[in-house]
């Protein structure tokens, strides 16, 4: 666990523009909306014959993943390449960090390679923040998930998916269901949803998978799935993160599915036009039924498509903010 200071002291320029992207917490509605609007301009790029823009031409992006994630890594790599950047995927398992080299030493080595952006995924909360504090001023840092703390690009691709499906955030009731305790995605989603002004945020989970004092984040807590999902507009399912569970927090996966798994019967309790989301990877028959995941109310594949666009937006905005910040210092 890394010590934390106010992330907005380092992730924003003096003018309030994005310089790093560490967390959604504390960012303004205007800035989150700018990220969504910028991402919207990239969404249709995959349908074009030429899928590149020159916004990061000549820049080097290093995907610094201390924790495995095929989906997140691949979408960041594709996003960087569509922005015309050179991309280096650092294999941490065979790097010198596994031989005892410190994180600071690794950063110094990467600085010597004249890298322009680090995309960081780490099992320890605060790692991306720590790296942003210790990089040279001309390097942007994007948090691709740190411990239980934050996963801001996942939250923003979820926000884009909701906006595409529902338009205005203000009238919506959103339910986040499952392993809230271990989910950095849920925390980032809650901060983003509150900032964007949704009517109500509900979290639904057994007591053993709820963080202490989760109510302080401005959510309503339900331990009964049927009560919590009633009349909601959006159902956001979460993966059971068994690799982070140090004790037996659940009697069994089958029992969890019976009580909290999203089936067609439970989905009927939501509004008739309610949509279903999941950050992936999906555990079918544990968090969600295949009939729901593959159904016409599922936006799961839209989330994947939007992930590339959102990461392109964040990377281009952060690099722009870095360049403007350096220009002001000269």
**All structural domains of the chain with their residue ranges:** 8-151+305-325, 152-298
Closest CA to 183 of 100, 239, 233, 249: 239
pLDDT at 249: 58
At the topology level, CATH places domain 8-151+305-325 in Rossmann fold (3.40.50)
Tens-of-pLDDT digits for all 330 residues of the chain?
555 567 778 899 988 999 999 999 999 999 999 999 999 999 988 778 778 999 999 999 999 998 888 889 999 999 999 999 999 998 675 554 555 557 777 778 887 888 999 999 988 888 899 899 988 888 999 999 998 899 999 999 999 999 999 999 999 999 999 999 989 999 999 999 999 999 999 999 999 999 999 999 999 999 999 999 999 999 999 998 755 444 455 667 888 999 999 999 999 999 999 999 999 889 999 999 999 999 999 999 999 999 999 999 999 999 988 777 666 554
Closest CA to 142 of 257, 56, 14: 56
CATH of domain 152-298: 3.40.50.1370
Whether the CB-CB separation of 86 and 60 falls below 8 Å is answered with yes
CA distance 154 to 55: 22
Q: Is the dihedral of CA 213, 197, 314, 189 positive or negative?
A: positive
**At 254, phi and psi to the nearest 5?**
-65, -35
CA distance 38 to 43: 9
Whether the CB-CB separation of 302 and 310 falls below 8 Å is answered with no
pLDDT at 247: 47
CA distance 179 to 188: 14
Residues catalogued as catalytic: 71-72, 99, 121, 151
Residue list, annotated binding site for L-aspartate: 99, 184, 239
pLDDT at 244: 46
pLDDT at 251: 62
Tokens matching residue 71: 């989906």
Helix (H) or strand (E) holding 65: strand 60-65
**At 143, phi and psi to the nearest 5?**
-85, 115
pLDDT at 44: 84
Whether the CB-CB separation of 162 and 39 falls below 8 Å is answered with no
| 8-151+305-325 matches 152-298 in fold | yes
Spell out the residues 6+ positions from residue 251 whose beta carbon is closer than 8 angstroms to its own.
Answer: none
pLDDT at 93: 57
Tokens matching residue 216: 């302080």
**At 280, phi and psi to the nearest 5?**
75, 165
Residue list, annotated binding site: 71-72, 99, 121, 151, 154, 184, 239, 280-281
pLDDT at 297: 97
Which residue has 């984040």 as its token pair? 217
Residue list, annotated binding site for carbamoyl phosphate: 71-72, 121, 151, 154, 280-281
């Amino acid at each position: 666990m890394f010590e934390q200071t106010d992330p907005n002291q380092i992730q924003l320029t003096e003018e309030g523009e994005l310089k790093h992207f560490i967390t959604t917490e504390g960012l303004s509605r205007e800035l989150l909306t700018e990220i969504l609007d910028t991402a919207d301009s990239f969404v249709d790029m995959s349908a074009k014959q030429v899928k590149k823009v020159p916004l990061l031409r000549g820049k080097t992006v290093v995907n610094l993943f201390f924790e495995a994630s095929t989906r997140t890594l691949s979408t960041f790599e594709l996003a960087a390449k569509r922005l015309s950047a050179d991309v280096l995927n650092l294999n941490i398992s065979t790097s010198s960090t596994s031989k005892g080299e410190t994180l600071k030493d690794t950063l110094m080595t990467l600085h010597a390679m004249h890298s322009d952006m680090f995309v960081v995924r780490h099992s320890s909360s605060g790692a991306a923040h720590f790296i942003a504090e210790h990089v040279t001023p001309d390097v942007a840092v994007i948090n691709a998930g740190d411990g239980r703390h934050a996963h801001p690009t996942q939250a923003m691709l979820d926000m884009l998916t909701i906006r595409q499906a529902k338009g205005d955030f203000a009238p919506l009731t959103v339910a986040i269901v499952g392993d809230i305790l271990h989910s950095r995605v849920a925390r980032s989603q809650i901060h983003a949803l509150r900032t964007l002004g949704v009517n109500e945020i509900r979290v639904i989970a057994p007591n053993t998978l709820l963080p202490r004092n989760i109510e302080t984040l401005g959510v309503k807590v339900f331990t009964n799935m049927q009560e919590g999902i009633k009349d909601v507009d959006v159902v956001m399912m979460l993966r059971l993160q068994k690799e982070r569970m140090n004790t037996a927090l659940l009697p069994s996966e089958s029992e969890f599915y019976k009580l909290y798994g999203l089936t067609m019967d439970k989905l009927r309790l939501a509004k008739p036009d309610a949509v279903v989301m999941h950050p992936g990877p999906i555990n079918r028959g544990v968090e969600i039924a295949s009939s729901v995941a593959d159904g016409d109310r599922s936006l799961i594949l839209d989330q994947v498509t939007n992930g590339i666009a959102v990461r392109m937006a964040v990377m281009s905005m952060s690099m722009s903010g870095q360049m403007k910040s350096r220009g002001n210092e000269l």
